Every structure is written in structure tokens, then in C-alpha cells.
Structure 1
Amino acid sequence: MAARIQVTFDAASPPTLGAFWAEVLGYVEDSPPPPYATWDEALDAMGVPLDQRDTAYAVVDPDGAGPRLWFQKVPEEKAGKNRVHLDVTVRPDLPRDQRPVAVRARVGELERLGARRLYEMEENGSFWVTMQDPEGNEFCVQ
């Protein structure tokens, strides 16, 4: 059986960055553990103080296919280029000649959510745009 993975992001604001990625990927906030109906109930039961409830956040694929994304609060800012990044595929069924228009349209949507466009690339029949999320993590839209 293959190992399951979780992708972890260091973040200044886990809930804010998690909400951004949920929107990008069509993910939802991870559910609180049973028997709790809400995260506030769960965190109350765990004894987590109110001022520490923004230290972590998780989003999941509602269909259960993609990895869980975990966002953890860290004190330092991002430094340097990511060594690993996410590639977000726009309409994988589109023919190559139609991909640049669809990718640029999605890039515009992501900019309105707070992402920043860095540059476009076309190489070996592929087209993509490299971007940064609101906290500066690089990712590609292809």
C-alpha cells in the first residue's frame, strides 16, 4: 500500500493561507475530530487558549483524492526559493493550443485572491505561469 502524504506549509497566518489554498484547489476546511461538531468545541476540550487558536489550520480534498494541506504558524518570514512547489493544473483535457488562454484566465482569478504573478514560461510544448501565494510560496499554474 502506498504511503499517504500531507503537504505542510509554514505560515504567518495559517487560517488565511489555508483559506487561500482551499479556494485555489477546491478544498474545504478539515473537520474537527469526533465527537466535536466544531473546532471551537474541540479546542475548548483540548484546553487550547483563545490566543493560540490561529497556530494551525488544515484543508482537505472533499473527494478524498488529494493530500491534506497543513498550515503551521512560524515566527520567521519565508527566506529564499522553495525547493518543492505545487503545480496547479487548469483543465487537463484542453488541447495544448488552448491552454495559455485558460491558464492566464485562472492566473487572473488567483491574483484577485492575493497571489502574485512572477513569470510565464513556454518550453517543450508546455505552458505555465509561476506565481507566489499571499505569503510568498512559489507555485505554478499550468
Structure 2
Amino acid sequence: MAARIDLTFDGADVQLLAAFWKTALGYVDVPPPAPYKTRAEWFAHLDVPEDISVDDVAWLCDPEGVGPRLSILKVPEAKTAKNRLHIDVRVPGHGSPDERWARIAEESERLVRAGGTVLEKFDGHHVVMADPEGNEFCVAAGAA
């Protein structure tokens, strides 16, 4: 059986990154574990340092349970170099190369409106982008 993975981002503004990645991927907040009714209620029972708040961490998941969970953690240091691992946001559907490129362009424009930045375009193939804190990712075509 293959292992399941979570992907973790470090960041300065956890809630900004969480909002961006929920928009980018269609993810939702991971519900609190039973018997807790809210994430804050669950977090309050943990033995974490007092200077860490529930807003310093976000847990996101694919509502269909297919994709990996994302964790976003507040850290004091800024991003200093290119990511060694990045996410590829795959735009579904088939069609001609022009149709696929149009979907990639449309998705990258949507993610710019959500706070992302286009770093480089490889016309007809993919767009390299950054989230609001500079974490690189690509938008490319993929199977539905």
C-alpha cells in the first residue's frame, strides 16, 4: 500500500496563504477531529506554547478526499530561495493544443485575481506562478 502524504508550506501570513490555496485548488478547511466542534476548541486542548495561536496554522483538504492535505505553518523567517518542490495545478480537459493553452491562460488569470503572480510563461505548455508569499507553482494541462 502506498503512503499518503501531506504537503506543508511555511509562511508569514497563514490565513492569506490558506485563502489563496483554497481558491486555487478548491480545497476546504479540514474539519476538527471529534468530539471538538471547532478548530479553535480542538487547538485549545493541545499543549502548544502560548505564543502560538490557532491562526498560526491552517489545515486544508480536498473535499473529495483525493488530493493530499495541505498544512500551512507560521514561521518567523522569510522565504529566501526557490522551492525545491512545487505544486502543479492541472487544468482538466482534452482538446487541441490551442484549447488546452486557453484553459491554462484562463486558470492563471483566475489565480492572479486571487493573489498569485505570473513569473514566466512557456507558451502552449505551462505557466510558472507564485502564491502571495512567493512559493512557486505551475499551471499546466492535465487529464480530467
TM over 0.5: yes
* Secondary structure class of the residue paired with 1:9: strand
What is the CA–CA distance in structure 1 between the aligned matches of 2:6 and 2:19, rounded to whole Å? 16
Q: What stretches of structure 1 move > 4 A for 4+ residues in a row? A: 47-51
Per the alignment, residue 129 of structure 2 pairs with 131
* Secondary structure class of the residue paired with 2:45: helix
What is the CA–CA distance in structure 2 between the aligned matches of 1:6 and 1:24, rounded to whole Å? 17
Q: Percent identity?
A: 44
What is the CA–CA distance in structure 1 between the aligned matches of 2:5 and 2:34, rounded to whole Å? 22
Per the alignment, residue 64 of structure 1 pairs with 65
5 Å matches for 1:1-142?
1-46=1-46, 49=50, 52-122=53-123, 127-142=125-140
Q: How many residues align?
A: 139
What is the CA–CA distance in structure 2 between the aligned matches of 1:50 and 1:30, rounded to whole Å? 23
1:21 deviates by 0.5
What is the CA–CA distance in structure 2 between the aligned matches of 1:51 and 1:10, rounded to whole Å? 14
Cα deviation digits, residues 96-130 of structure 1 (max 9, x gap):
231111111111111111000111114xxx61000
What is the CA–CA distance in structure 2 between the aligned matches of 1:40 and 1:73, rounded to whole Å? 16
* Secondary structure class of the residue paired with 2:125: strand
Structure 1 segments unaligned to the other structure (5+ residues): none
1:24 deviates by 0.5
What is the CA–CA distance in structure 1 between the aligned matches of 2:38 and 2:56, rounded to whole Å? 17
What is the CA–CA distance in structure 1 between the aligned matches of 2:19 and 2:51, rounded to whole Å? 20
1:53 deviates by 2.0
AA at the equivalent of 2:46: M
Cα deviation digits, residues 35-93 of structure 1 (max 9, x gap):
01111221233366586222211100011100000111110110111111111111233
> What RMSD, in angstroms, separates the aligned Cα atoms of the two structures?
1.7
Task: Name the stretch that deviates more: 87-96 or 128-137.
Answer: 87-96
* Secondary structure class of the residue paired with 1:37: coil
Contact 2:94 2:100 (C-alpha < 8 Å) held by counterparts: no
Q: TM-score w.r.t. structure 2 length?
A: 0.88
Aligned in 2, Cα 1:135/1:86: closer, same or farther, shift over 3 Å?
A: same
Contact 1:116 1:133 (C-alpha < 8 Å) held by counterparts: yes
